[in-house]
Amino acid sequence: MTPHEINSIFATFQHLNILVIGDVMIDAYLWGKVNRISPEAPVPIVAASRKENRLGGAANVALNLSALGANPILCSVIGDDAASETFFELLDAAGLSAEGIMISGKRATTIKTRVISGTQHLLRIDEEITTDLTENLARSFIHQIEQIIKKKKIHAIIFEDYDKGLIVPDLIRETIELARNFSIKTLVDPKKKNFTNYAGVSFFKPNLKELTEGIKKEFQGHDLDAIRKHASEFQQKYEIEVMLTTLSENGMMLTFGNQWAHIPAQIRTIADVSGAGDTVISIAAACLAAHATPLQAAIIANLGGGLVCEKVGVVPIEFDVLKTETLQYFEQTNDFSTGILD
């Protein structure tokens, strides 16, 4: 991959409209220091020094896309509650549109509160509703998505599924069918509940845990032969064009058609893996929409996922850092075609 090709892909990002359908949330952080153990129970006492709210879940995917220069259109349903006001304030501060966000008194705005001392993640508290959308609410939400797709030129659609009840089978099926009609690429960051409901999508990105739970088979992250075999079988059974299985320190396994490639992890100083999956799916969507090959998209996404793991908390990728890293990586490795085997 030449510098010209890399520059062309990254330049194309700013012309992309990418629809992000998924569970949004507020990532709340409570920072402090631990100096002693509580006399009431064997737990650390955190002397809180700072609180911070950030966009999380599918909203973090939108942040990553925005950081890449693309135009994300975030579609979700949140609660009619105090936290929704905070969520809209965060959207506005990030320069993200709220046109795809619905409010319902039957839902809650999800909040994940992380308690952190230094770089040590001590505790997470989740406030949420995880039941499926009611039939009427789901129909209204699907109609809203349909109207956005028909009115705007959409280059890719990401399903960011956190099993919070927003993404239901009817929504998946109807959106995939609509995307086919408009020749839009569809990408999925799956969870357990809907794992087998995404037949026919362009790109499917489970991590190892999600894959083993989804197909109900056990194997280890270093067993690349087993991962390739089961990923390929799943991909072909559900007519998925490209499947990228992320394996943490063991890199990624890419399967597409009758081909596969193992992409090793980059050596990093890992501070926090939170949000790495959001970054990977965001970069993959932007790259594929910019006409990168599956292997090129996977390699760039692998670089980006590693970069955000060097940061504490859920943070989006930085465009210039990713581009520089990509240029350096491809300069050092002259021929990536050897990574693909029939």
The answer as to CATH 3.40.50.300 being correct for domain 3-31+50-333 is no
What's residue 315's pLDDT? 67
- Whether pLDDT at 206 is above 90: yes
Confirm whether pTM is higher than 0.85: yes
- When pLDDT is cut at 50, 70 and 90, the band that residue 337 belongs to is very low
The residue whose two tokens read 């079988």 is 233
Range with the poorest average pLDDT among 24-33, 93-102, 146-155, 315-324:
315-324
- When pLDDT is cut at 50, 70 and 90, the band that residue 334 belongs to is low
* Cα(311)–Cα(307) distance, integer angstroms: 8
Q: Which of 132, 161, 278, 320 is catalytic?
A: 278
CB–CB of 18/158 below 8 Å? Answer: yes
Most distant pair of Cα atoms in the chain: their distance? 63
Q: Is 278 a catalytic residue?
A: yes
What's residue 342's pLDDT? 40
- Whether pLDDT at 48 is above 70: yes
Helix then strand count (H, E) for the chain reads 10, 13
- Give me the DSSP letters along 60-84: HHHHHHHHHT-EEEEEEEEESSHHH
* Cα(153)–Cα(142) distance, integer angstroms: 18
Average pLDDT of the segment spanning 147-167: 95
φ, ψ of residue 213 to 5 degrees: the values are -70, -35
What's residue 1's pLDDT? 81
Range with the poorest average pLDDT among 25-39, 40-54, 144-158, 264-278:
264-278
Range with the poorest average pLDDT among 78-82, 267-271, 302-306:
267-271
Q: pLDDT tens-digit profile of 264-300?
A: 887 655 444 555 889 899 999 999 999 999 999 999 9
- Whether pLDDT at 329 is above 80: yes
Q: pLDDT tens-digit profile of 228-264?
A: 999 999 999 999 999 999 998 888 999 998 889 999 8
CB–CB of 283/300 below 8 Å? Answer: yes
What's residue 265's pLDDT? 80
